[in-house]
Structure 1
Amino acid sequence: MDEPLELLDASALSEVARSVTLAQNLAGATRLHAAHLLVESFKSLDEAAHGEPGADARPAHARLDPADRARHHLAAALAMTGWHARHLVTAGVQIHTRLPRLREAVERGLLPEQLAIDAACRLASIPDDIIGGVESDVVARLARDLAGGHRPSRTALDTTVDASRERHDPQGAGDAVDAAADKRTVRFRPERDGMTSMWAHLPSGDAEKLRRRIDAAARAAAETGHPRTRDQLRADALVALGDPNTTDIADPPPDHPADNSAADPATAGATATAADTDGGGAPLGASWGTDQPVRISVIDSIAQGLPNRVEFVTGAYASFDWLCEELLSGGDAKVRFELLDPQPGTEDTPDAALKYRISPALAERIRLRDGTCRHPGCTVDAHDCEIDHVIAFDHQRPDLGGPTAEWNLVCLCRKHHRERTFGHCAYRAGPLGELTIITETGHEHHTRPHGPLAQARDRILDHRWHQHLDRLIADDGHLTNPPGVEGTLRATSRGDRPEQSTSPERPGRPA
């Protein structure tokens, strides 16, 4: 390029960045292919020296796994950790031996290298008898998300794989849950400046109990006036759980004496005695237990021929085991259910559309639909976002401005809300929460919602499509009513599937 980068306009610089990203993705595809070929090379060398695997007379401890040899070689050659080398080799082998759809997407440069590695390693545990269907679901979801400017996190990738596996093999998915519980662990890693990171891998029910206690403790402390951030209060609450000498997360500030907390049983803290506790360190009735009811949204899909989906609005890690325990111990005092109609616009009314204020029910619906901030690449949780009108609300003439309706509302974090308000991008809304952002460089970014409500709608549409195909395609694989062919449809004894009347010349086939 002859012209210096600093002299190019924003549009040209954006194209440069896109080209470099594509080149990086293609380089990653080459690296994955090389890892696979390295494994094959070590395998060929081993077979040439010692014969076929079945004819190898060496004892087991003297045999070297080709994948391990490739991992050790790459760790040294590429100056990467053993963990990264192992995942690179696993992904390379999986992509080039049993994941053809993922391989095609990788070779076209559609996926960043690390995302391709994560997806391949995650799919490596899927049994061969269902890998085709699961891989198809996962690759389609990744392509759709990336096209909309959204890069799925590892957690989102795991959720997609688990949901697809459950759909294709419910029994196997249940066995996988039982096996995963055996891998629970907690790890600590010292860091600089006197800090330590803690990482835990826990069953969902246990994690939810811990999260509930920590969040409630931080909330109670914030309400008493502790001058700290919510993150700091959550960290203090976790520390308090491990301190046998206290059940409070910190001393109250000077203007909130300690004896005031003991006077209110809802905020009782450090003054509680061991006899007043539930055995887990927290006082009975303390506000940092589970006093706040859990709001659970049930997405109604029964009418669409699918089971209802339960979404835990408060508690992203909640599980059915934990829910059953809460219901048995506290009844409806601890749990609040709300039935959600997935049909778009069910909370919209003509009167509400002309008011700027968004009702709590509509706001919760928007957050359940979007899941995160809708700006491409932003992962701020929807419950930490503000809800914004895509078409600005006209306070002087509400009937001329953007209505307060589901299709015209999106979740934006504070930073991207300010960018939309004071920036120069154009925003266009779609009927199902789609959002198109047209930048000042002329590029268009199409994003789709990823929240539980949007996922339920996707499942309903997918179910309807398969029902349509089942009616359209006969058991022998032919269309029951192909285009350009005259004939009448009739119901068969198998149900309501239409069947094309057959021709005398070709019995059993569509005319």
Structure 2
Amino acid sequence: MTTTTPSMHAVPDRTDMVGLKGVSEAARAATLASNLAGAARLEAAQRMVLEFALLEEDSEEGAEEDAVEGRKAKRPAYARLDPTSRARDHLVAACQLTVWHAGRMVTAAEQIHTRLSHLCEAVSRGLMPEQMAIDTACRLAEVPDSIIEIVEREVVASLVDDLEGGDRTSRTALDELVEQSVAKHDKKTAEDEAAAAAKERKIRFKRSRNGMASLWASLPAEDAELLRRRIQAEADLAAANGDERTMDQLRADVLTSFAVYQPTQSGAAGSAAASGLASDGPASAGSNFAGSTSSGPQAGDAAGDATDATSDDATDDDIELGEVGVDPDMPRPTLGNAAAGGESIKISVIAAAAQGLPNRVEFVRGSYSSYEWLCRELLESEDAKVRFEIIDPAPGALDDPDRALKYVIPAKLAERIRLRDGTCRHPGCQVDASKCDVDHVIAFNKDNPEEGGPTYEWNLACLCRKHHREKTFGKCTYRTGPLGELIIVTESGHRHRTRPKGPLARARDGIRKAPRIWHDPRQITMCEHGAYNLPA
């Protein structure tokens, strides 16, 4: 007699299925329950701190009574136990956490229940995942009391709005959101925080598996951006010269090559020759300036390529091995290096009215530096040639009716869309816009262009290749708004909403409050209370 065991992956009978909408609703209900459970854990953590504080008070009172009666002296300071630390240690076991995670939970719990009323309300209603609540509270704990109320209100409102649209904000985006709000309401605090953070710069190495090691660095944004451009430029050069290594491998090898350099040469030239990445023909290095300046609080993305001309007479005898250290001859990327080849660096400047924030250079990937840094780099660079391009932030500024019925997207318009979106526009996707396709949201009809989606800014969005395929071959419907809002309606009937997060989008905060914005009948529109309507 034989028996058969049903497979875990067996396709269920259609009569037993509750349908896609039912499954989606079950997942949403489970998520709400998880969020509420997280809120309960945070409340328990705060109550645990209070309980340990009461125990400590009782112990102090008992010690004082004993001291009065002469039985025992009052406990010394080193013998007193911190209620926060005791609560943390108990949560390690109670919630199966590491000491670090438990410490963050306690910090968040105290902040949420004693200082952050807006976040407390959102958490108690189950609107925010537990880990996001912890990250947000720990980040807001660093904000001064003088501006915490207004900063917290702005940050929490933005996070909840994104979550309700199905788009979870990343930790990096959360940090940027808080930084921008602090800078807007207290310039001095923002400058002090930046100065303090710069003093904490560090590089760490950690042994990994299979004979590998990982490198982690925390650097000032401007230095990190210069280093990124230098590494990427030399990797691009090697790839253009036919190197068969992957781009990831090339970037890693470029970084490693910085340990081998020519002290007699300067700038990118010495490092490019020493790296050995371009062995055929003249060596050269390029650099992309990935930032932009703004006349107001917002900033933009700059694109542009420049090439370094270097000597091709370097030989193995010229290469020295040495320890990487502080040395005036050590190659260091600068804007001058990028322009040494005679080509100008294009810097895109978003024309925005001042709203109280300092001028600043904002890099594509979200970090930023001061406007003074940009000026210093330009002045100290020997032969830097810079070409500024003013970008009008108004929606549709580059729309051309003569190109609207053509499928090919002009390069400047595609660059503008990437500048607006920042990342892939699918909810929760953080693929950088530079690695995304610029896609017609309402599909372009090649047979009858007048019936399809036009090549206008409002009908274009950045999608990574994976989500581009999902849009093209899936069953969801997609619609956009005049400022780049994207609504996705799934097969189950649920709506997800994302807003663009790039520098150009941030420059449009004032436009968003305008009473009327022109829109195409096929666009989504915004109601007075902030909800979105889809066209009939």
- TM-score (norm: length of structure 2): 0.77
Aligned in 2, Cα 1:268/1:69: closer, same or farther, shift over 3 Å?
farther
Matching of residues 215-254 of structure 1 within 5 Å: 215-244=232-261, 247=271
Q: What letter is aligned with 1:86?
A: G
Q: Secondary structure at the match of 1:51?
A: helix
Query: What residue is the counterpart of 1:31 in the other structure?
Result: 41
Query: What residue is the counterpart of 1:468 in the other structure?
Result: none
Q: CA deviation at 1:133?
A: 0.4
Q: CA deviation at 1:288?
A: 8.5
Query: What residue is the counterpart of 1:78 in the other structure?
Result: 95
Query: What residue is the counterpart of 1:409 in the other structure?
Result: 460
Query: What residue is the counterpart of 2:397 in the other structure?
Result: 346
Looking at structure 1, the residues matched to 111 and 488 of structure 2 have their Cα atoms a distance apart, in angstroms, of 36
Looking at structure 2, the residues matched to 125 and 243 of structure 1 have their Cα atoms a distance apart, in angstroms, of 41
2:507 paired residue among 443, 450, 456: 456
Q: CA-to-partner distance for each residue in 1:332-352, whole Å, 9 max, x for gaps?
A: 835442211111111112112
Query: What residue is the counterpart of 2:422 in the other structure?
Result: 371
Q: CA deviation at 1:53?
A: 12
Query: What residue is the counterpart of 1:16 in the other structure?
Result: 26
Q: What letter is aligned with 1:38?
A: M
Q: CA-to-partner distance for each residue in 1:345-383, whole Å, 9 max, x for gaps?
A: 111121121221212221111111111111111111111
Looking at structure 1, the residues matched to 366 and 340 of structure 2 have their Cα atoms a distance apart, in angstroms, of 15
2:369 paired residue among 319, 323, 327: 319
Residue pair 2:226, 2:334 contacting (<8 A) in 1 also: no
Looking at structure 2, the residues matched to 46 and 29 of structure 1 have their Cα atoms a distance apart, in angstroms, of 26
Matching of residues 36-47 of structure 1 within 5 Å: 36-47=46-57
Query: What residue is the counterpart of 2:478 in the other structure?
Result: 427
Residue pair 1:301, 1:460 contacting (<8 A) in 2 also: no
Aligned in 2, Cα 1:232/1:179: closer, same or farther, shift over 3 Å?
same
2:409 paired residue among 358, 373, 386: 358
Aligned in 2, Cα 1:175/1:310: closer, same or farther, shift over 3 Å?
closer
Residue pair 2:441, 2:479 contacting (<8 A) in 1 also: yes
CA RMSD in angstroms, aligned pairs only: 3.3
Q: Secondary structure at the match of 1:351?
A: coil
Aligned in 2, Cα 1:156/1:315: closer, same or farther, shift over 3 Å?
closer
Residue pair 2:339, 2:384 contacting (<8 A) in 1 also: no
Aligned in 2, Cα 1:307/1:286: closer, same or farther, shift over 3 Å?
closer
Looking at structure 2, the residues matched to 150 and 194 of structure 1 have their Cα atoms a distance apart, in angstroms, of 38
Q: Secondary structure at the match of 1:193?
A: coil
Once the two structures are overlaid, the 10-residue window that deviates more, 39-48 or 49-58, is: 49-58
- 1:101 partnered with 2:122: no
Looking at structure 1, the residues matched to 470 and 494 of structure 2 have their Cα atoms a distance apart, in angstroms, of 16
Q: Secondary structure at the match of 2:482?
A: coil
Looking at structure 2, the residues matched to 104 and 284 of structure 1 have their Cα atoms a distance apart, in angstroms, of 48
Percent identity between matched residues is: 53
Aligned in 2, Cα 1:172/1:310: closer, same or farther, shift over 3 Å?
closer
Q: What letter is aligned with 1:37?
A: R
Query: What residue is the counterpart of 2:8 in the other structure?
Result: none
Looking at structure 2, the residues matched to 42 and 398 of structure 1 have their Cα atoms a distance apart, in angstroms, of 70
Looking at structure 2, the residues matched to 205 and 82 of structure 1 have their Cα atoms a distance apart, in angstroms, of 34
Q: Secondary structure at the match of 1:393?
A: coil
Q: What letter is aligned with 1:266?
A: A
Q: Secondary structure at the match of 2:403?
A: helix
Q: Secondary structure at the match of 1:342?
A: coil
Aligned in 2, Cα 1:346/1:27: closer, same or farther, shift over 3 Å?
same
Query: What residue is the counterpart of 1:400 in the other structure?
Result: 451
Q: Secondary structure at the match of 1:319?
A: strand
Residue pair 2:176, 2:367 contacting (<8 A) in 1 also: no
Q: CA-to-partner distance for each residue in 1:276-313, whole Å, 9 max, x for gaps?
A: x98224799998898675543222122x7666865546
Q: What letter is aligned with 2:38?
A: G
Residue pair 1:25, 1:110 contacting (<8 A) in 2 also: yes
Query: What residue is the counterpart of 2:533 in the other structure?
Result: none
Looking at structure 2, the residues matched to 136 and 400 of structure 1 have their Cα atoms a distance apart, in angstroms, of 44
1:64 paired residue among 81, 88, 101: 81
1:299 paired residue among 345, 350, 362: 350
Query: What residue is the counterpart of 2:281 in the other structure?
Result: 260
- 1:128 partnered with 2:155: no
Query: What residue is the counterpart of 1:382 in the other structure?
Result: 433
Matching of residues 156-167 of structure 1 within 5 Å: 156-167=173-184
Q: Going by fraction, where is helix more abundant, 1 or 2? A: 1
Looking at structure 2, the residues matched to 241 and 24 of structure 1 have their Cα atoms a distance apart, in angstroms, of 48
> Where do 5+ consecutive residues of structure 2 fail to align?
1-11, 66-72, 263-269, 286-307, 321-326, 516-536
Looking at structure 1, the residues matched to 152 and 236 of structure 2 have their Cα atoms a distance apart, in angstroms, of 42
Query: What residue is the counterpart of 2:330 in the other structure?
Result: 280
Looking at structure 2, the residues matched to 206 and 54 of structure 1 have their Cα atoms a distance apart, in angstroms, of 56
Residue pair 2:309, 2:340 contacting (<8 A) in 1 also: no
Looking at structure 2, the residues matched to 342 and 91 of structure 1 have their Cα atoms a distance apart, in angstroms, of 38
Looking at structure 2, the residues matched to 222 and 213 of structure 1 have their Cα atoms a distance apart, in angstroms, of 14
- 1:146 partnered with 2:197: no
Once the two structures are overlaid, the 10-residue window that deviates more, 392-401 or 120-129, is: 392-401
- 1:87 partnered with 2:104: yes
Looking at structure 1, the residues matched to 492 and 137 of structure 2 have their Cα atoms a distance apart, in angstroms, of 35
1:117 paired residue among 134, 143, 161: 134
Looking at structure 2, the residues matched to 403 and 318 of structure 1 have their Cα atoms a distance apart, in angstroms, of 34
Q: Secondary structure at the match of 1:144?
A: helix
Residue pair 1:372, 1:381 contacting (<8 A) in 2 also: yes
Looking at structure 2, the residues matched to 4 and 108 of structure 1 have their Cα atoms a distance apart, in angstroms, of 37
Looking at structure 1, the residues matched to 357 and 407 of structure 2 have their Cα atoms a distance apart, in angstroms, of 35
- 1:190 partnered with 2:211: no
Residue pair 1:345, 1:406 contacting (<8 A) in 2 also: yes
- 1:199 partnered with 2:216: yes
- TM-score (norm: length of structure 1): 0.81
Residue pair 1:296, 1:311 contacting (<8 A) in 2 also: no
Q: Secondary structure at the match of 2:128?
A: coil
Q: CA deviation at 1:76?
A: 3.0
Residue pair 2:151, 2:178 contacting (<8 A) in 1 also: yes
> Where do 5+ consecutive residues of structure 1 fail to align?
466-511
Looking at structure 2, the residues matched to 130 and 287 of structure 1 have their Cα atoms a distance apart, in angstroms, of 41
Looking at structure 2, the residues matched to 127 and 92 of structure 1 have their Cα atoms a distance apart, in angstroms, of 18
Q: CA deviation at 1:74?
A: 1.3
